[in-house]
Chains A and B, each alone.
Chain A
Amino acid sequence: MNPWLVARAGMARHAGTYAVFWLLIVVATAIGVAISAQEAALRRGSARAADRFDLLVAAPGSQTDATLAAIYLRPGSVPLMTPADAARALAEPRVRFAAPLGFGDSYKGSPVVGTIAAFVEHLSGGLQAGRMFLEENEAVAGAAVALRIGETFHPAHGLAADDDDDDGDAGQTAVLHEHGVALAIVGRMKPTGTPWDNAIVIPIESVWRTHQLPTGHLPSETRLGPPFAADKVPGVPAVVMAPRSVNDAYGLRGLWRTPTTMAFFPAEALTPLYAIMGDIRDLMSWFALATQGLVVVAILAGIIAILNLHRRQFAVLRALGAPKLYVFACVFTQIAVIIVGGALAGLLLGAGAAFVLSKLFALRTGIALPLEIGAGEFALVAGFVVFGLLAAIAPALMAYRRPPIEALSGQ
């Protein structure tokens, strides 16, 4: 048997209503897919952003705050390591490099971060244009920073998002005052898919000097980077260490867990965040599933009402010789087309929405979200389809069991 001809006619008769049903399923499915895909992308993106930060050493406090400041350039109130601890950390011999991080300044919404050349090379995997800074008044721009090589800028103390206002207005966001220092862009990092793409990186010495701190070197020295003079190193919010091996990493972590310092792998700080994100995702997924379930129930109620209008039509088909199963198949086919078609379209729409949201998020935060539509999303859609098809049995069974004589007799 082939009920498609009759099923198609039934759908055409109520094309507008079936289109609304289909759209409801598309939207409900898309919401579920987008939530699932986005949460996974956020985890992947944030984890990848932390890839280059092997071991963080900071003053005792919140690992989360230190991670947000160092990796995601969202500095909050991160205490400074003591100068003595900072000097010892920067002189740590069991690492490939130990890079100080100095925050607090910005330029037109881009954080200005002080560090050493070795860390820039490590983070970016080389430069895409220009050269590394060699002087204190030179800077390397992140891949997404609007400044061109050769341009100069004046960093301001404080951080303000999207501050395009050059009139020194201390109004809406943070208090900004220029240091009166001019820095020149000499190079540009490769894209890292992290907030560092929006950052301007300058020598740590420049940060220290601008803030009237010791520069890490003797006054007669003009070089940049390690080794630093132990008694000339001021406190820093964090030091990024690159251990030589995994074993060294664990050893160093233990070594730098002292009463005055904390050491951790970024994953240690991110894991609890991911747990919370996972819980939120689960909650939102349940809401999305509940929405989908309600949509299916509402649609089935609507279809049952429509099918009641077609009772006589089905009775006539039986009179013409159609078996009961044919009537069942007609009804089931109509519902299946809406559910399967809507779910597939919803999968596409959800993927598209997640893609757009990822791009917007990356523009805003600098964190690239690697979007994947994978087993989780397909399972979500498949589960919805199975539920919908199972639910479709009910109205199909109602039509199957209804004696044709009732409708033929006008009952």
Chain B
Amino acid sequence: MSGVEPAPPLLVSKTDVEFIDRGKRFSALSITLLKAEPGKSLALTGPSGSGKSTLLYTIAGLLRPANGRVLWGGRNILALNEPLRDKWRREHVGFVFQDFELLPELTALQNVLVPATFARFAIDAKTRTRARDLLDEFGVPARGTPAGALSRGERQRVALARAMLFDPPIVLADEPTASLDANAGSVVIRALTARARAEGRTVIAATHDPALIESMDARVGLEHGRLVDETEEEET
């Protein structure tokens, strides 16, 4: 299932996220404009607590900021109600986490198929074939092995396969190589960046990894929730 339709750019516009901690309100994110081009990979860099993960969750529609917009194909994701945001995320976003976040009791194949259980009762044969193909592509042939028994590199590749199950046009990755050694990390980097270019996906990765940053098409710095290299372009 390689090759997706040309995706629209992803825009984050005038978005402010505030959290309340011990009765005090503080700003976690304040983005004037961020644009991610389709087919390009974008690295979010910055120190811990700079708002990288918060930005990813905002883009995914997991939290609703005080104001702002996340535009995808002219549609403001943040204006959708929660069920519709869940649906949009399920169909358009693949998520990769730092610690893989697999279910260790399930096999590699079962872990990849978990998203297929969110909306349908039965998993169809086409989806199963897709899951097997992804595991083969990412070099995890031991599909029947419990995920807890796999190596860290294999687990992250299983997580990648899970993220790609429904061929999402957007891939969000939160420190995807932080738990991996250099070799395993390079496999993940290649998988992410190659897919961006070859398949026209929008890949955004929050990362400290210099090798990953180096391999991405663009990079944006975050500090105290604000873009360091904030674009001055007007949204169109």
Contact = CB atoms under 8 A, between A and B. Distances in A.
Interface of A: 1-6, 8-9, 12-13, 312-313, 316-324, 326, 403-405, 408-409
B41 interface: no
Interface of B: 53-54, 57, 60, 62-63, 82-83, 86-87, 89-91, 93, 95, 97, 101, 103-106, 110, 113-115, 117-122, 162-163
Given A5-B106, A323-B86, A324-B82, A317 B120 contact: no
- The residue among B62, B97, B114, B117 with the most chain A CB atoms within 10 A of its own CB is B117
B162 to A, nearest CB: 7
A326 B117 CA distance: 9
B117 A5 contact: yes
Contact of B101 (A2, A6, A9, A313): A313
B119 A403 contact: no
A404 B62 contact: yes
A403 B57 CA distance: 12
20 contacts: A1-B117, A5-B114, A6-B103, A9-B104, A9-B105, A9-B106, A12-B105, A13-B104, A312-B101, A313-B103, A318-B62, A318-B86, A319-B57, A320-B89, A320-B163, A321-B115, A322-B118, A405-B63, A408-B57, A408-B62
Given A3-B117, A5-B106, A312-B101, A320 B162 contact: yes
Nearest to A325: B83
A316 B57 CA distance: 11
Given A2-B117, A316-B95, A404-B62, 5 more contacts: A4-B117, A321-B89, A321-B115, A326-B118, A405-B63
- The residue among A8, A12, A322 with the most chain B CB atoms within 10 A of its own CB is A322
Contacts of A12: 105
Nearest to A323: B86
Contact of B83 (A4, A6, A323, A403): A323
Given A5-B106, A9-B103, A13-B105, A320 B114 contact: yes
A34 B53 CA distance: 57
A324 B86 contact: yes
Contact of A320 (B82, B110, B115, B120): B115
Contacts of A323: 83, 86-87, 118-119
Nearest to B163: A320
Given A5-B117, A9-B105, A316 B97 contact: yes
A324 B86 CA distance: 8
B103 A319 contact: no
Given A1-B119, A405-B57, A409-B53, A320 B105 contact: no
